[in-house]
Amino acid sequence: MGGADIRILDAPKDELRAWWNLLSPTNRKLVEGHIGRLLPLLEVKVRTGLVRALAHFWCPETSTFIFGKHELTPTLEEYSVLIGKPLESELVTPPLGIDSTLMLAEFLNVGKDELGKVLKANRGTCPFSFLSQCFEKATSFQKGKIFLLAFFGFMIFPHCKNACSPSIAWLVQQVCLEKNFGNTILVETFISLIKFKQHVDKTFHAPLELLQIWFLSHIKGCGDLLTISELSDSSHPILSYKEKQGNTPDYHYSEWIIFMKNARPQGFYWHANWFKVEEARLTCNGVGPVPLLGFTGAIEYYPARVSRQYQILQGLPPALQPELLRVDFADDDKNHEGTVAQLNKM
C-alpha cells in the first residue's frame, strides 16, 4: 500500500489483570461503573495484521474507510453501544490550562517535586513502573484510582511505549464525575488514522481492540459471532468477542489487504448484528458535518456518507467541507477555550 505501517503500542494487560485481582469487590464495582463495558478489552488479542491493513484504507478527507466504491466508519451511536455509555451526558474536555504535573501528583498522592523528577527523567511522561510502585503502596481506595488511570493511560489512550501522558489524570478525574468519554475515543481514533495517513504520527493513540471488534462485526463470517438479541452488562459486543475470539480469522496482513482491496458490498453487514439503534445523528443543525470534541483535538465527521449502516440507502455523499472543524490542542496556540465551549453546545 506504500508507506510504513501504523505503530501499535502493547498495553501491559497481564499487569493490569493482576491489579484487577487485587482490588476489593467495592473498588471493582466502582471502576466498572466508570469504564462502562470496556474491562473485557484486557482479554482481547489485537489482530495486528488486520489493524495495520485497515489503517491504509482510511480517507482523511471523509473520515471514513473506503473499500472500492463503498464507505464504512465507526459512528457515535455504534461506539456508545460498544462502550456502554449514553451520548446524552456531558463531554470530557481537553486539558487546556491545566497543571498536569500537579494534578497527577494529587491523583497519585505523591509530592509534585518527586513526580517532576520522574517526568523529567522520562521525557515528560509517567512510566508504568512508577505507577506500579504507587499501586503497591496505595490504600485500597487509591488502588482503584490508580487502576483507572493506568487503564485509560495504556489501554484506551496509549501515549508512548511503557509510559502515559500526565494529562491522563485530568481525563480520569472527569470520567469519575460521570462525563462521557465515548466521544473522545472516537475522536482520538479518527485523529490517529488521519495523522497516520498524512505521515504526521505513525502511532495509534486509541483502543485498537475496539476498532477491531467494530470492523469484524460488519464482516460476514465474523459478524455472525457477534449476534446479540438483547444488550446488557452480561451480553454485549466486547464480551461476546472476548469469548469467541478464538473463532475469528487471524489472517496475515497481506491477506487482509487483498480482502479489503476486493471488498464487495455483499461481504458486509452494513447494520451490525448487535446494533439496535434505529436513529442516528447524520448532520449538525441540518447541514454540514457533525463536530466531535476529543482530548487532544477536535474534528468533523460525515455520518451521512455511511447512512447505509443505518439501513438507509447510501446515495451520493454530501459535499465536503474539509478541515472545517479540525483543531489540534497540542499545538503552540493554547487559546482553544472558545472552540471547546462551542463544540460542547452542538
Q: Which three cell numbers stand for residue 49?
A: 495484521
Which of the four pLDDT bands, split at 50, 70 and 90, describes residue 161?
very high
Beta-strand relationship, 70-72 and 126-127: unpaired
Nearest to 240, CA basis, from 223, 258, 252: 223
Note the pTM of the prediction, 2 decimals. Answer: 0.90
CA distance 229 to 307: 22
- Higher-scoring residue by pLDDT: 337, 52: 52
CA distance 56 to 2: 9
- The letter for the amino acid at 244 is K
**Phi/psi zone of residue 319: left (φ > 0), alpha (ψ -120 to 50 degrees), beta?**
beta
What does the domain layout of the chain look like in residue ranges? 1-35+95-178, 48-93+206-346
Mean pLDDT of 284-298: 82
CA distance 295 to 328: 10
Average pLDDT over the chain reads: 88
Whether 147 and 19 have beta carbons less than 8 Å apart is answered as yes
Which of the four pLDDT bands, split at 50, 70 and 90, describes residue 321?
low
pLDDT, tens digit, 9 for 90 and up, residues 55-70? 999 999 889 999 988 8
Please name every residue paired with 163 in a beta bridge, in sequence order, or none if there are none. 127, 160
Query: Which range is least confidently modeled, 36-50, 61-75, 104-118, 200-214?
Result: 61-75
Query: Which range is least confidently modeled, 4-8, 129-133, 151-155?
Result: 4-8
CA distance 297 to 153: 17
Q: Phi and psi at residue 161, in whole multiples of 5°?
A: -65, 125
Ranked by mean pLDDT, the top range of 12-21, 69-78, 257-266 is 12-21
Q: Which three cell numbers stand for residue 266?
A: 455483499
pLDDT, tens digit, 9 for 90 and up, residues 3-17? 579 999 999 999 999
